[in-house]
Amino acid sequence: MKEGSLLSLVVVGAILFGCALLLYRNVLHRLGKNRSLILVLMRCGVLLIFAIFLVKPDFTCRSLPFKSTLSVIVDKSRSMSLTDCPGGKSRLETALLLWLGQLKRVVSERFEVQEFVLDAKVQTRRLDGKEKLTPDGEESNIIAGLEKVAKGAESIFLFSAGRATSAASKRFQLPKDFPPVFCVGLGTTNIRGLKDISLRLESVPQTVHLKTSFNIALKISSSGFGKILLPLTLYENGKMVLTQQVELHEGENIVNVAYAPQSTGLHRYKINLPEREEELLKENNETGFYLQVVESRIPVFYAEGVPRWEYKFTKQVISEDPNIEFVGCVRVGAEDFVLQGLKEKTRVKGALPADESEMKKFKILIVGDISRSLVSEEQLAMIERFVSEGGTLIVIGGENVLSAEYRGSPLEALLPVRLEGALQKVTAPFLPSLTSEGKHHPIFENYQEYFETSGQNTATVDTLYVAGAQKAGAVTLAVNPTILVGGKPAPLVVLQNYGAGKVILVSSDTLWRWYFRYRTLGLQSPYVRFYGQMLRWATEVEEETHAPLLLRLSAKFLKTKESLSVDVEPRGEVVPESVECWLKKEDGTPKYRVTLTSSGEGVFSGVVSVEESGRYGVVAEGVTRNGARVEVKTPIIVGDPYAEYRDLSLDDKFLKQIAAQTRGGYFKITEMDKLLRDVVAMSENIAASAERPFWQHPALFLLLVGLLGGEYILRKRRGFV
């Protein structure tokens, strides 16, 4: 408080005391000095408070507790075991030394400290060096951890290498009022030059068919060992199933492993290389993944109205696949049809299976360029029922099958495009373009290279049949970018769900040239991959035809905090209003409820995000009209036990992003003095914000009210009111 303000307040107080004596001179005379002293002092106090309100002296008082809360998080995930800190210490050891040795004492003098450890989740832990902390977490859920400890904290310390494995770390935006986060980065941004061998998955499918060989692409980084030969081992559910020798050179090596699973189900695979002496980290010699293996038998019927080249090469590709049972029927004359590829006798009527009992022998029906005159109304209705009950229809475009003759028929209802106007046949060659959906769809997985203009052997298409605009619920995967239909590029491959089944339209009959063009050059044909991936995707979801509920998931393997989309379709006697969906633990305990909303056509949809890794079951439940409870269940895997070793270097960019969003700071392990200075400055700012001018304190107003009330009561008791 300034001397001028204090002097003014003293002078005003003396004047007020004199005024109070004058005001109570009659009281003093009647009651005497001792009895009236209390009233005089109370009146002086009232006048003094009024004076304080008028003068507004500049001295302050503290209205908040001196110590605010600071949360400290130490990452204990597996990547923190890396020994790339000074003195050959691990990242976790270094974090504890920095906190316990340099920071904790100073920080605790100014803050109420809460200590936590972090991996897949946050746990409260007293960090005093007595209890040994082990870097054993399979994940590092940094964003979720920060969100949990932010409640009630004015600031946060984070000790981490920034290796966040949760899906939430890809794109995140912390709230504007989030406490400042001070990140201490541990480790080095470049671990090259140190002796180490690390395995990393480049690509692997999520679902394969029984006894079908699939490819595992590995990137193996080797540093400090020169040229070496090592045995690479593949394990299935803990049992060794394959070993092969791999030759590694300094730097990155691409290795492919092929394996054919011999049993169905959800399998966990592990791949490892033997540990070498003096390796920087031995845990990254191993990687792994989960894989769904499904029944291999895919019965396919191909009905063709004319002997096209597309039929010849499609038949050849499908017949070469050991997991597909192919039956084809092609019209070769006015009344002549040839049946091919029989493994057992199939009855046909025209080019199609004779009746529904024959149709049910197949999972996929491919329809070529069949004229409307060759198909009866009963057969079209049979195709519609086949799809609605779970089958897949693939239509290969042509002048007959996409003509106006089918307008208003069940086939048009099935198609993902409308049959409107005159059919247009485009014969100018074009290079297809994948849509955003197509780039991420299993049908075109690892396909982008074929559609790049920089390549010498691009997969151009010579014809395109343009029937009309795509329907509202259809999904276009590949287009002709130069031709527009309804303001959008003309679709080459477009699909839609229909009932419990799927419909795929391929609007060209010259894709066979992909096969011919690439095989003659000795290159892998995109035609083989296209049909192989399309047929497997079409049968990937194995659904019981007569199941009371159909359950579809966007994925079966997720990262933590990654969104899972769920579709539930009640069928038969199930009451739609009774449908519920849960994520349950392995022991059946409900963990998350999936809020379902109607998305039209009798389907209920919802989205859920899972924070904790592990095995779960997605369970859809409902009640039939007669009161019976029904349910279906699909297993999912959340989290990746090898995610911590995908990249071992310090991710300082991620930590700096957190610091920037929260107005905190990023510090290297050599900058602890700077961190302490910032902490001291922050505590002083908090202390300053906890002070307010004395004349604004609410206690002063309450004292004024108390003095006025007390004076009134005393005066009334003495008979002066």
Which helix H or strand E contains 353, and what residues bound it?
strand 352-353
pLDDT, mean over the chain: 82
Which of 235-249, 559-573, 647-661 has the largest mean confidence? 235-249
- Is residue 2 classed exposed, middle or buried when 0-12, 13-18 and 19+ CB atoms within 10 A define those classes? exposed
Tell me, yes or no, whether 327 and 459 share the same domain.
yes
Supply the CATH number for residue 231's domain: 2.60.40.10
Which of 605, 638, 671 is the endpoint of a domain? 638
pLDDT at 696 over 70: no
Identify whether 677 is part of a domain.
yes
Instruction: Please give the pLDDT value at position 22.
Output: 66
- The crossing angle, in degrees rounded to 10, of helices 309-320 and 526-538 is 70
The CA-based angle 281-283-286, given to 5 degrees, is 125
Tell me, yes or no, whether 367 and 424 share the same domain.
yes
Tell me, yes or no, whether 372 and 494 share the same domain.
yes
Quote the number of domains for the chain. 5
Which of 294, 318, 353 is the endpoint of a domain? 294
User: For residues 430 and 432, what is the distance between their CA atoms, to the nearest angstrom?
Assistant: 6
Tell me, yes or no, whether 431 and 518 share the same domain.
yes
Identify whether 543 is part of a domain.
no
Which of 538, 571, 589 is the endpoint of a domain? 538
Tell me, yes or no, whether 173 and 249 share the same domain.
no
Give the confidence band of 556 by pLDDT, cuts at 50, 70, 90: confident
Identify whether 191 is part of a domain.
no
Instruction: Please give the pLDDT value at position 244.
Output: 93
Identify whether 643 is part of a domain.
no
The CA-based angle 399-405-409, given to 5 degrees, is 120
Instruction: Please give the pLDDT value at position 291.
Output: 85
Closest by CA to 75, choosing from 160, 169, 144, is: 160
Q: What is the mean pLDDT of residues 636-660?
A: 82
For 412-426, 470-484, 505-519, which range has the lowest pLDDT when averaged over its residues? 505-519
Tell me, yes or no, whether 577 and 479 share the same domain.
no
pLDDT at 24 over 90: no
> Which domain, by its residues, includes 577?
549-638
Residue type, 303: A
Q: What is the mean pLDDT of residues 26-46?
A: 62
Identify whether 595 is part of a domain.
yes
Tell me, yes or no, whether 270 and 334 share the same domain.
no
Tell me, yes or no, whether 260 and 392 share the same domain.
no
User: For residues 414 and 397, what is the distance between their CA atoms, to the nearest angstrom?
Assistant: 14
Instruction: Please give the pLDDT value at position 421.
Output: 82
Tell me, yes or no, whether 225 and 256 share the same domain.
yes
Supply the CATH number for residue 594's domain: 2.60.40.1930
Supply the CATH number for residue 494's domain: 3.40.50.880
Residues 572-590: pLDDT tens digits? Answer: 788 888 999 999 988 888 8
According to DSSP, the residues that pair with 254 across neighbouring strands are 219
Identify whether 394 is part of a domain.
yes
Tell me, yes or no, whether 357 and 479 share the same domain.
yes
pLDDT at 640 over 80: no
Identify whether 644 is part of a domain.
no
- Residues 288/241, Cβ–Cβ less than 8 Å: no
pLDDT at 37 over 90: no
Largest Cα separation within the chain, whole Å, is: 137
Tokens of 510: 């010259």
| DSSP codes, 661-716 | HHT-EEE-TT-HHHHHHHHHHHHHHHHHHTEEEGGG-HHHHHHHHHHHHHHHHHHH
Tell me, yes or no, whether 212 and 270 share the same domain.
yes
Cβ neighbours, 10 Å, residue 343: 9
Instruction: Please give the pLDDT value at position 296.
Output: 67
Identify whether 447 is part of a domain.
yes
Tokens of 242: 């394959």
Tell me, yes or no, whether 412 and 322 share the same domain.
yes
pLDDT at 365 over 90: yes
| DSSP codes, 372-404 | GGGS-HHHHHHHHHHHHTT-EEEEE--TTTTSG
